Amino acid sequence: MTKIKANKVLFIKLGQGGQFEKECIEQNQTLRLGYREVDHKLCVGGHWDKVHDYFTTEENSKTFVATSHSNQIKQFYEEDEKTLWITFYANKLWWCFSKPEITLLADKTKTRPVIGKWSDKDIIGNVLLGSNISGKLLKTQGFRGTICSVPEQKYALAKINCEQMKEVVEVEQAMFNLKSKLTFLIQNLQWKDFETLVDLIFRQAGWQRVGDTGKTQKTLDLELFAPVTGERAIVQIKAQSDLQQFLSYQEQFATMNDYDKFFYVVHTSKNNLTTYENETETKLYLVDKVAELTISAGLVEWVIKKTS
């Protein structure tokens, strides 16, 4: 597994409104530049002062605008094979390296070949979905020009190399520590407070309670309804439980055809339940899972106050 290295990372917009994306990425394996009005011979010859003059005289552009245009074209023509190019297409991040071999097409657009092919995966094969990419990098696609440097270069390379940034590792470790300490606090909650916590977790998830906690049927403690999906659920909350008791409730749940989901939440579990690999449709939540859900529901401070 060879890591990707680059001297520079550049973003390229493949045509106005992405008009060249499909052709470049799926068919030709190229980079493509518009700027049809700019003389190809001037660019090949490296006459960038004349390209700049073109924009100030012919296009009546302000100096800083002319500089931006000429710099973008220069990058397309002159960046070497160690520059990493990225773009966004079909809600994914794509990347490649490219040879500085420029071809002038009949429509006066220009292309340069990709080394190998465009890739939408990291080095171990995970698809680089836009939904899993930092907003700081995603905002690059809003660049109004064609080519720009990538401020989040370090992050882009780490994403492609399937590496976690130091800060991400530190946050994950902090989250692990928080979950561990929170599990201890939850284990020290009074029984009624534990019931209330479970109730709050489900309500934060959008469920509505039907009936009072612990006062419905003896085989359930919470009866819930999801107004968006119309689902009904049972949440059995146990102060202590072992595997035999869990399986016994499983048999009872199997006869309750009016419900869509079943949850079995345990404060203190016996060893045989702790190590049980649950493959039933009933969701088995032990205290470590309750801690995880407490964090997700934003109820950490609530637990701290109840155990202070």
Residue 122 shares a structural domain with residue 39: yes
Domain membership flag for residue 260: yes
Residues 213 and 197: beta-carbon distance below 8 Å: no
Domain of 207, in residue numbers: 167-307
For residue 263, what pLDDT is reported?
94
Please tell me which residue, 115 or 162, carries the higher pLDDT value.
115
* pLDDT above 90 coverage of the chain, percent: 72
> In which band, very low, low, confident or very high, does the pLDDT at 222 lie, cut at 50, 70 and 90?
confident
Domain membership flag for residue 40: yes
For residue 173, what pLDDT is reported?
87
Residue 135 shares a structural domain with residue 230: no
For residue 216, what pLDDT is reported?
44
Answer whether residue 294 shows pLDDT above 90.
Answer: yes
Give the burial string for 153-181 (b: 16+ CB within 10 Å, else e).
bebbbbbbbbbeeeeeeeeeeeeeeebee
- CA-CA distance, 226 to 203, in Å (whole number)? 10
* Last residue of one domain, picked from the residues 138, 160, 182: 160
Answer whether residue 30 shows pLDDT above 50.
Answer: yes
- Domain with residue 173: its CATH number is 3.40.1350.10
Q: How much of the chain is helix, strand and coil, in % rounded to 5? A: 40, 20, 35
Domain membership flag for residue 77: yes
Residue 14 shares a structural domain with residue 152: yes
Least confident of 7-21, 65-79, 192-206, 265-279: 265-279
Residues 288 and 179: beta-carbon distance below 8 Å: yes
> In which band, very low, low, confident or very high, does the pLDDT at 213 lie, cut at 50, 70 and 90?
low
Residue 12 shares a structural domain with residue 153: yes
* Last residue of one domain, picked from the residues 125, 160, 195: 160
Domain membership flag for residue 1: no
> In which band, very low, low, confident or very high, does the pLDDT at 217 lie, cut at 50, 70 and 90?
very low
Answer whether residue 198 shows pLDDT above 70.
Answer: yes
Residue 209 shares a structural domain with residue 142: no
Length of the chain: 308
For residue 278, what pLDDT is reported?
84
**Which is it for strands 83-89 and 92-97: parallel, antiparallel or unpaired?**
antiparallel
Q: How many independent structural domains does the chain possess?
A: 2
Domain membership flag for residue 3: no
* Last residue of one domain, picked from the residues 105, 128, 160: 160
Residue 193 shares a structural domain with residue 65: no
Residue 124 shares a structural domain with residue 189: no
The token duo for 25 is 């990425």
